[in-house]
Amino acid sequence: MLREKNFRALWRWVQFRSSRGHPVERYKEEFPDGARAFLHFLRRCRVEPGPGADLPLGVVVLPWVSTPTPWFTLALAIGLARRGKSISLVCDDSGLGLPLETPERLHVQNAHIARALETLGDTFPLARLSEQPPQTARDGDARALQDLSELNLTWALRGAPPSEQKRRAFPLAPEHLARTLALVRGLLHNARYESLVLPGGIYGTSGLFRLAAEEAGIRVATFDGTFGVVQICVEGIAGQQSDIPVAFRELERAAAETLDWARGQAREAFQRRVEARDEAAYQAVPPQQDGVLSADVVIPMNVEWDAAALGRHTIFQNTEDWITATVEFVLRHSAQTIAVRQHPAERKKFERSRFDIGGILQERFGGNPRLRFVSADEPVNTYDLIQSATVVLPFASTIGIEAAAMGKVVLVSGASCYSDLDFVWKASSHEEYLGLLGRALRGQLPRKPHQVDKAWLCYYLTPTCNRVWTDFNLAPGDSDFWTWVARDPEDLFEDAAVADMLTALAKNRPLSLIRHERKVREAFAPTPA
């Protein structure tokens, strides 16, 4: 057993090694240490099996680029069981080559996951993917698996255009995915689940679980996150906040007093974001008083490889096609200026993209004086640009919500959590998009009815409620995994943020609504006499 003093000694060793500057990404080297720390956490947990009367939640445990994702997954499973849910674990031990993995690292991760499952013993039923009878392929598999392979390739290459050499060397070839999909279908053919709970929903085999579950009519709940923040979606892909429309339509029915309060919360959060005082701190500089860069048309970019953008194109083939067609149309059909704003998160090393939109624009349009590319590193506040614009053209960025709340005409080009909420303009075809864009350039595209009020409500639900800032997340950092794994499990599971995540998954209710309800209780609680 890893006793408390040994845990502290292990953590001091990890800190020492990190301070010496390890030659590779340190979290990958620390995975075995983290696994031992998680075993210590498990042994301190009160682990209870669910009642077994209902269909179980199938909680999928799989390797995830040597991050603590499997440990976060198992902690969620334990927390859900403590809430009375029947839990059945699914271990993806298929050995599929995953993006950015080597066989050696995959073997290390699977070995430590197996040890954690042995420690749990027979507390929860366990199905191993490698033991499932494969099911036959279906019509449409080739296209679905090719699409999933391409999304993973974009993720692995951080948005860089894939060369033929990289494409051939990529471990997630459609034929590899097909073999694992056959096993996942075998699992779902032989076992019944209320829903599946899994990380991501796109990366690696998580996309296969999502595909096969949707075929079988099984709801899929996913979680995602990075340093300091977690998102959970009770039906769909967490990184794309797929359950926000459900939450939005329910929130719209709340009392007027509650809606006014929620909009006030959104405006306060937005002001912190504009002034670079929010948790994400995307803006490098606060709003400027003098010398502000301006443009008539602003195109805010997503991070190309981020889950929020993967697979979200509906009327254009890809991001390059969208950007070049849009810029060309504006330059040809108006005298207006355009600013293409690279996502400011890309100035951070971990979130940087290799998608060279600046180079693409330079090659296609040269030094056109009406076109300005604003890189992530430039000391420009995005909201100064939005304030100057007459029309904003996002793909799936949160800034589309913010621009609508600021009263700007917003025309979206991709599927997002807000594109169907009727406070932005949305096209269903390439021709309709360009037609709406032409109207916008001529000043003939009005704001949507009740646009500002609706946008503030959506903004309240998305960054304000749906993104949970907590150290209980999937990230490997010193203030993330190594913080929560050292906590008393009883204290961890009663933490407000953790409790809200578990409630959302247990009740199949959008996390944004669970968080909203907590905020309302706290805001409107009677003042003690």
Residues 473, 432: one domain? no
- For residue 259, being part of any structural domain is answered with no
Same domain, 515 and 433: no
Q: Residue 469 pairs with which residues in a beta bridge? A: 229
Mean pLDDT of 457-468: 96
Question: What mean pLDDT value characterizes the chain?
Answer: 91
Whether residue 516 sits in one domain with residue 423? no
Report the CATH number that the domain containing residue 373 is assigned in CATH.
3.40.50.2000
Residues 417 and 499 in one domain: no
Would you state the pLDDT for residue 24?
40
CATH code of the domain containing 36: 3.40.50
Confidence of residue 463 (pLDDT cuts 50, 70, 90): very high
What is the pTM (predicted TM-score) of this model?
A: 0.92
Could you report the per-residue pLDDT of 145-183, keeping only the tens digit for each? 999 999 999 999 999 888 887 888 888 889 889 999 999
Q: What confidence tier does 312 reach under pLDDT thresholds 50, 70, 90?
A: very high
Q: Is 343 within a domain? A: yes
Query: Is 224 within 8 Å of 199 (Cβ atoms)?
Result: yes
Residue 3: pLDDT over 60: no
Q: What is the number of residues in the chain?
A: 529
Residue 484 lies in a domain: no
**Residue 153 counted as domain residue:** yes
- Give the DSSP letter of residue 313: B
In this structure, are 170 and 236 located in the same domain? yes
| Closest by Cα among 5, 84, 78 to 47 | 78
Residue 444 lies in a domain: yes
387 and 517 both lie in a single domain: no
Q: Which range has the worst mean pLDDT, 27-31, 42-46, 120-124, 397-401? A: 27-31
Which residue do the tokens 């195109």 mark?
A: 299
- Do 178 and 299 lie in a common domain? no
Euclidean distance between CA atoms 184 and 265, whole angstroms: 43
What pLDDT digit, counting tens, does each position of 41-50 carry? 999 998 877 6
Q: What is the pLDDT of residue 21?
A: 44
| Same-domain pairing of 182 and 75 | yes
Give pLDDT tens digits for 183-203. 999 999 999 999 999 999 999
With respect to residue 58, please indicate whether it lies within any of the assigned structural domains. Answer: yes
Sorting pLDDT into bands at 50, 70 and 90, what band is 31?
very high
The residue-averaged pLDDT of 54-73 equals 94
Q: Is the pLDDT confidence value at 6 over 60?
A: no
What's residue 449's pLDDT?
93
- On whether both 26 and 136 belong to a single domain, the answer is yes
How far lies 369's CA from each of 286, 338, 518, in Å? 26, 9, 51
Contact criterion met (CB below 8 Å) for 142 and 133 = no
212, 359: one domain: no
Per-residue confidence (pLDDT) for residue 525, from 0 to 100: 79
Angle at 272 between CA 266 and CA 277, to 5 degrees: 150
For 287-308, the pLDDT digits (tens) are 886 667 899 999 999 999 999 9
Query: Which of 309, 321, 356, 295 is CA-nearest to residue 433?
Result: 321
User: Residue 4: is its pLDDT beyond 60?
Assistant: no
Give the phi and the psi of residue 11 in degrees, each rounded to 5. -65, -40
Beta strands at 219-226 and 229-233: parallel, antiparallel or unpaired: antiparallel
Is 364 part of any domain?
A: yes
The strand order across the sheet containing 229-233 reads: 126-128, 87-91, 57-61, 195-199, 219-226, 229-233, 468-469
| Whole-number Cα distances in Å, 490 to 69, 296, 305, 332, 510 | 20, 54, 37, 63, 24
Q: In this predicted model, what pLDDT tens digit does every residue of 217-262 receive, in sequence order?
A: 999 999 999 889 999 999 999 999 999 999 999 999 999 999 999 9
The reply to whether 473 and 421 lie within a common domain is: no
- Which residue type occupies 115? R
pLDDT above 70 (res 381): yes
- Report if residue 262 sits inside a domain: no
Domain count, the chain: 2
Whole-Å CA distances, 309 to 177, 218, 373, 414: 22, 24, 20, 9
pLDDT at residue 82, rounded to an integer: 93
Average pLDDT over residues 63-86: 95
Q: Identify the pLDDT of residue 283.
A: 87
Q: Kindly state whether residues 72 and 9 are assigned to the same domain.
A: yes
pLDDT of residue 292: 76
| Domain assignment of residue 346, given as a range | 284-448
160 to 155, 360, 392: CA distances (angstroms) = 9, 12, 26
CA–CA separation, 391 and 241 (whole Å): 25
